[in-house]
Amino acid sequence: MKPREIHPRRRIRARGHTLVELVIAVALGLVVTVGAVSLYRSQRAAFGRADDTTQIREAGLTALTLIGQQIQMTGFVPADLPQPQPQQKPTLFGCSAARPTGTDDNPTCEALTSRSDGIAIRYVGDNVSTWPSSTGQPTDCLGQAVSVGNAAYGAGRVMIVNRFFAKLSASTGESELYCDGNGKSGSAQPLVEGVERLRARYWLAGAQTALDASALAPDQWANVVAVDLCVLVRGAPQGRRSRYVDCDGANVAGTDLRARQAFWRRVAIRNNEVSAS
């Protein structure tokens, strides 16, 4: 039997893609790929900026909270101690573009390349006004036990001295807020990463404007009734320059690829005779 022949009109001819069709297909594929990569990169950059903004905000608010709580403790003494307690030195002391150094009773200022201000705060601490250590002793800003007491304060009570300032970390190169507590003086430790500068200005009783620490005479520290705090926080490198408002209220163009933001807070001093009157 002869095989059945296929009618010529029904024969299917093999047909390949032309060069033009191939080029168009490749071009469309490249357009889709480039668009997808571009969208991914833009979304990733947007996510990175949002995350950086969140971290900057958290660092700024945390720093203001930590320092503000300590300033509110300035001059504090337990209620069952005779009032007022005699103070050899003011319970608040500040430095302009410098950090407080020297002894707890006679602080001085040491210049900082970060131009950060520094502030030293003194108050009587016990197991209620501070977190107690594992041995039940009052602690400083770093959780270090402060054991040097004073008979005038009673058992379990000591003078707490905490000093705050901002500088670059020698190990990481990042800006950080530091505290140096008198539980182990001279061993400052970082508290908040990203804080590039601390700015503090002081309100005297009856004054019309706040003053820098350098403008206050030694006998005026006892008359400070409030402190204007500002922390300038910088974020991680984001690949583009940005503008920001610094702690002095100036609109500044960034010199690197990091975003920055300033945070402000005014803190009243509760525990001195001028504030209470």
Question: How do residues 201-228 score in pLDDT, each as one tens digit?
Answer: 999 998 999 999 999 999 999 999 999 9
Give the H/E segment covering residue 58.
Answer: helix 19-73
Give the integer Cα–Cα distance in Å for 84 and 272. Answer: 9
94 bridge partner residues: 119
Is 16 within the bounds of a domain? no
Give the integer Cα–Cα distance in Å for 81 and 156. Answer: 13
Is 12 within the bounds of a domain? no
Give the integer Cα–Cα distance in Å for 172 and 123. Answer: 32
Decide: helix, strand or coil at residue 196: strand
Q: What are the structure tokens assigned to 254, written together?
A: 């960034």
Question: How do residues 148-190 score in pLDDT, each as one tens digit?
Answer: 766 567 778 899 999 999 999 988 889 999 999 999 988 899 9
Confidence at residue 224, expressed as pLDDT on a 0 to 100 scale: 95
Is 101 within the bounds of a domain? yes
Q: What are the structure tokens assigned to 169, written together?
A: 């970390």
222 burial level (CB within 10 Å; 0-12, 13-18, 19+): middle
201 bridge partner residues: 212, 228
Is 7 within the bounds of a domain? no
Phi, psi of 106 (to 5 degrees): -145, 70
Is 31 within the bounds of a domain? no
Is 131 within the bounds of a domain? no
Question: How do residues 68-104 score in pLDDT, each as one tens digit?
Answer: 999 999 999 887 776 545 455 779 999 999 999 988 8
Confidence at residue 276, expressed as pLDDT on a 0 to 100 scale: 47
Is 88 within the bounds of a domain? yes
pTM tops 0.85, yes or no: no
Question: How do residues 99-108 score in pLDDT, each as one tens digit?
Answer: 999 888 888 9
Is 132 within the bounds of a domain? no
| Percent helix, strand and coil across the chain, each to the nearest 5 | 25, 35, 40
CA angle 45, 49, 53 (to 5 degrees): 170
How many domains are contained in the chain?
1
Host domain of residue 240: 45-124+159-276
Question: How do residues 115-138 score in pLDDT, each as one tens digit?
Answer: 999 999 999 998 888 989 988 899
